[in-house]
């Protein structure tokens, strides 16, 4: 109930600030649960991903430090967030999302690069998707990268790619992971070029630190 309420509030707020977003290939999203994966470009791209894929509800990982604050802990739990130690992720970092996905009510949003400051893809999403028996769905966000830029009214676009199904017999060793990572990156590049052939992502926060 709270998830639906919060989604409505955020959707209205972002519409007032930035206008109507453009969602591409929504009809291609799977009917059942899946792991939505995309490059992490701004702190609010997961919000747009969740709105674009409505009515599907999502769970997501959050660094465990956020759960130390009682207010954040209450909020995160009510929007299906679960804690993960980024430096030393334990078995629960895999088991918790796999259990959620198998139950069928929730999908999962993951950023394979881990943060906005990395372009290196990691294998956790593929492992979770394979164990849960669900596909990976590539997604990309193009638009403002800071809250201030949202007020420029530059239109936000979210696009979804074709699901990537991982064969249960496939070994996710170093070679197997490389195959899946190549598929994900190819899907991200294809979607970016489809929306804007001249698109080039610039990490705004990294630029500020360099100055």
What gap in Å lies between CA 83 and CA 72, rounded to an integer? Answer: 11
pLDDT for position 122: 67
What gap in Å lies between CA 186 and CA 167, rounded to an integer? Answer: 19
Cβ-based burial of 181 (10 A; exposed 0-12, middle 13-18, buried ≥19)? middle
pLDDT for position 83: 85
pLDDT for position 196: 94
pLDDT for position 210: 52
- Each residue's pLDDT, cut to its tens digit, for the chain (211 residues) gives 788 888 889 899 999 999 999 999 999 899 999 999 999 999 899 999 999 999 999 998 888 888 888 888 888 888 898 888 777 777 778 899 999 999 999 999 999 876 554 555 666 899 999 999 999 999 999 999 999 999 998 999 999 999 999 998 899 999 999 999 999 999 999 999 999 999 988 887 655 555 5
pLDDT for position 78: 85
pLDDT for position 206: 58
Give how far Cα 208 sits from Cα of 3, 51, 78, 202, 205, Å: 33, 29, 33, 11, 5
Q: Are 180 and 126 in contact (CB under 8 A)?
A: yes
Q: Which residues pair with 78 in a beta bridge?
A: none
Strand arrangement, sheet containing 157-160: 22-24, 157-160, 136-142, 35-37, 106-110, 57-63, 81-84
Provide the H-helix boundaries in 19-106: 45-52, 70-78, 92-103
Q: Are 166 and 130 in contact (CB under 8 A)?
A: yes
pTM given for the model: 0.89
């Amino acid at each position: 109930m709270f998830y639906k309420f919060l989604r409505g509030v955020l959707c209205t707020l972002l519409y007032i600030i930035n206008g109507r977003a453009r969602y591409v290939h929504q009809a291609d999203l799977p009917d059942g649960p899946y792991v939505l994966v995309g490059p992490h470009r701004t702190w609010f791209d997961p919000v747009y991903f969740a709105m674009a894929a409505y009515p599907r509800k999502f769970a997501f990982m959050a660094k465990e430090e956020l759960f130390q604050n009682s207010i954040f802990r209450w909020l995160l739990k009510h929007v299906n967030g679960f804690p993960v130690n980024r430096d030393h992720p334990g078995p629960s970092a895999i088991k918790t999302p796999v259990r959620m996905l198998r139950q069928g009510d929730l999908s999962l949003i993951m950023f394979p690069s881990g943060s906005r400051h990395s372009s290196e893809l990691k294998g956790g999403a593929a492992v979770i998707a394979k164990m849960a028996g669900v596909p990976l769905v590539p997604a990309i966000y193009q638009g403002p990268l800071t809250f201030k830029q949202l007020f420029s009214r530059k239109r936000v676009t979210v696009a979804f790619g074709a699901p990537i199904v991982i064969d249960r017999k496939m070994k996710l060793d170093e070679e197997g992971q490389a195959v899946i990572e190549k598929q994900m990156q190819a899907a991200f590049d294809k979607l970016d070029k489809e929306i804007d052939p001249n698109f080039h992502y610039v990490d705004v926060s990294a630029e500020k630190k360099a100055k």
